[in-house]
Structure 1
Amino acid sequence: MKQIINIQERYGAELHTRQLIERLAASLNPADSYLLDMQGVQQISRSAADELYNLTHSNIHVDIINLEPFVEKMFSAVTKGRFLPRQHTAGDMPIVHCATISSVLQQLGSL
């Protein structure tokens, strides 16, 4: 039987840090199964959502239920981001490649 953990009661309506989810994970027994009830959790940071994703893909059996709309969107964005290639754009700044420490120092000195 799965143990239900009411996240809003335990941690509040706003989950802002990765460390909070890490503390939750540390309190769970890998031999048990859990339902994380997110009802009432209105905000979650991207880093907390990322750590929650890690928890759902760990050796601890965890399912998440009752996601509020914003939390569901953030968790979905994190999940989709895991499967998309990362693209880095240079913007309007030139990229300088340095092969030695002295060339790095020279470039930094020119700023």
Structure 2
Amino acid sequence: MAKDIFQRVADEARPPAIWGRPGCGPPDYAVYVLLDDLVESGAWLDLELKRPFLALWVNDQDFDNPDLDDPIVALGQSDLRKFAAMDPVVDLESLRGMHVKLVYDDEV
């Protein structure tokens, strides 16, 4: 069974998070809610998954010029830096240009 990277992050985080929580706003806000949940719970995520998850943000075209007037975007930028600084620490700049696999086979 395949899982997208966001579901895998939610499942493998310790403590686990919820991906696609009902009532979290427009569908494009779901990733912001997931990131905020990870920060608020102090979640630990294996470096092999944390790096590609954060790379999705860093390599987004709006990363360097975010719309900080949008409170969700501003929170996301703050949470991104907080989550990167949590153990295991990730240098965001080192993720520039990283290719990210969006779907994973979860069979072992």
- Bucket of the pairwise TM-score, normalised by the shorter protein: 0.3 to 0.5
Provide the TM-score with structure 2 as the length reference. 0.33
Structure 1 or 2: more strand by fraction: 1
Quick check: which has more Rg, 1 or 2? 1
Provide the TM-score with structure 1 as the length reference. 0.32
Structure 1 or 2: more helix by fraction: 2
